[in-house]
Chains A and B, each alone.
Chain A
Amino acid sequence: MRATLAPLLLGLALAAVSHPAVAGRLAGGAGSRPLALDRLTELAANHLALAGIGFLIVAGLGIALGIAATRPGFARLRGGIDALAAFAQSLPPVVVVALALPVLGFGGPPTLLALLAYGLMPTLRGTVGALDAVSPEARAAAEAIGLTRRQILTKVEIPLAAPGLIETLRTALILSISVAAVGALAGASTLGTPIVAGLQNQNLSGLLQGTAATAALAFLGDALLLAVGGFLTRD
């Protein structure tokens, strides 16, 4: 549980920095117009909703496809998956958001598409890597005692691969929160909005609030998944 403490404390500290009273004092000055607390919570709720939906899609699809790709019948797809993952990672989220803009319009949809394009392949590859790390002896032993394929998956492979799967989910969650912030450029109303607006009209405290709140969400989400992982993989 000690590993969760650092991101948890950092997240709470950053959340405190994003409070209008604190941010107004830190970034005091002529152009300082801190966002009111209810506006900030509204943006944070939007951010969480967008990142949460994206995370569920990416994690669900990525892990399901990763499990499918490690089944014996699909072994020959591995090379293709790696090439596709490398290709998808070379598309920066901003570029996907920008390209989807004329087709999908402003707001959430281009952001979700960017998240899917950028986050799916790392999740898939992480799942494949975690399942590959399960020792063949464990699999052979499970087969020898007469478990069915489904039982081997749910009772042997997934529990043994759990640490790697949690790592994969952490990456997916951080990507989701990060891409939701980029979505502000496409007009999605997230915590990236005060950052972009603050850079454009020199509103330092708004900029600081958006920055601190986005980072706080990322650290708190990371702490949550680390705690879940620690709970699941305890002996």
Chain B
Amino acid sequence: MTSAPFGVRAVLLPLAAALALPLVLGSLPLLHLAPNRLVTGAPIPVAAALGPWLWPLLALAATGPALVASGRGRAGAWFGLLACTGGFALLLTGLGAGAAELLVGQPPAARARLAAGAWLAGLGLCAGIFLGMRASRLPAAGWLSALVLLTLIGGLGAAGTLDAFSLTVEFRARRDGLARAILEHLALSSGALIIAGLVTAALGLWRRGRGAIDLFVGGVQVVPAVALLGGLVAVASAGLALMPALRAYGVSALGAGPALVGMAAYLLLPLWRGLQGALRTPDPATLDAARALGLTPRQTLASLRLPLGAGLLIGGLRVAAVQALGLATLAPLVGAGGLGRLVFDGMAQFAPDLILLGALPVIALSLAAESALSAVEAAARRRWPS
């Protein structure tokens, strides 16, 4: 099937790719016009949302993904990549102009909100850019497409094209809070990661208890995160009720403390698995040879076990880092800060753009951690092939 000249790969895939985005653009609302920031508002028909930009955008959104999907060598992928990039810029420009036009003559509280069709089309074009970069064998396609997209969004934002979007308005209002939330989020995640790393290293020294540790770190994973955080608060409150003197030392049932402990407990499993896998990587013959050469156990660890297992160790760190960034979103539940605070505020007020303002950085941070650490992992595997 794959070898047939007119099989799935040659015809159906490009055809589906060509139809997908025009269908999305045509059938789903692109913008919502709402009287204030708390309601969803009325969907705006595609022709009114995009105006004169509609047809050029449709053309690019059909040809770009189709060229990328057709797999016709590097030139095709290049043109597909260019068409997708152009399509993304057109989508933002067209919708920005459309939103600005919609808001003319409206009361100041009115908002023009990006709707499902715009998000899906934007995601599709982003995927097209990423896949196009991979197909034209550009180095570090993930980072390069992130750079291209951020430049586009930043440039259009600086030019004022995006000013009419509700999300931009929300961003302007909360710029300082957002920066602080991102820093808190990073502090919480890295704090939990460091605690979990230290505990894992300490547990690694305890040879006898390996079975018990396996059971414990596996058991923690079974407890749902919401329940673990809640349980920690309950236990800490009960402890403080028994020993009120602890309050004097700054122990509190709510805040960053229980959040860090709860997050770190979840991160133990990936780190522990990575460490155990890394220590087990060298085969017995290699270890015998090391012993015969007169290496001490410490030297064996430093020059043999850790380098050979570096890939597995960093793989565990990658999973743990991505989990930490996601778990930190739940931290405001127990009174700690971070980007989750914006998400929870948005949910409480039912303000979709505030939710997005908190959620988009979480997703971006997780993706960045994932791709950065998988690059390090791949480099470690190349440097010390096991």
Contact = CB atoms under 8 A, between A and B. Distances in A.
Interface in A14-73: 26-27, 29, 73
A174 interface: yes
Given A91-B366, A98-B346, A7 B329 contact: no
A90 interface: yes
A95 B230 contact: no
Interface string B47-66: 00000000000000000000
Interface string B357-386: 011001100110110001000000000000
Interface stretch (B87-95, B216-224, B278-286, B292-300): B216-224
Given A91-B363, A98-B359, A208 B234 contact: yes
A103 B350 CA distance: 11
A10 to B, nearest CB: 7
Nearest to B119: A99
B347 interface: yes
A210 interface: yes
A219 B222 contact: yes
A204 B238 contact: yes
A46 B168 CA distance: 39
A13 to B, nearest CB: 12
Given A7-B222, A29-B241, A199-B333, A210 B230 contact: yes
Nearest to A210: B230
A178 B355 contact: no
B355 A101 contact: yes
B231 to A, nearest CB: 4
Interface residues of B, number: 49
Nearest to A89: B322
A86 B130 CA distance: 15
- For the residues of A in contact with B, the DSSP-based class is helix
A222 B222 CA distance: 8
A199 B326 contact: no
Contacts of B238: 26-27, 204
A123 interface: no
B340 interface: yes
Given A26-B238, A103-B116, 8 more contacts: A7-B222, A95-B329, A101-B352, A186-B347, A195-B230, A199-B233, A210-B227, A215-B224
Interface of B: 1-2, 8-9, 40, 116, 215, 219, 221-228, 230-231, 233-234, 237-238, 241, 322, 325-327, 329-330, 333-334, 340, 343-344, 346-347, 350, 352, 355-356, 358-359, 362-363, 366-367, 369-370, 374
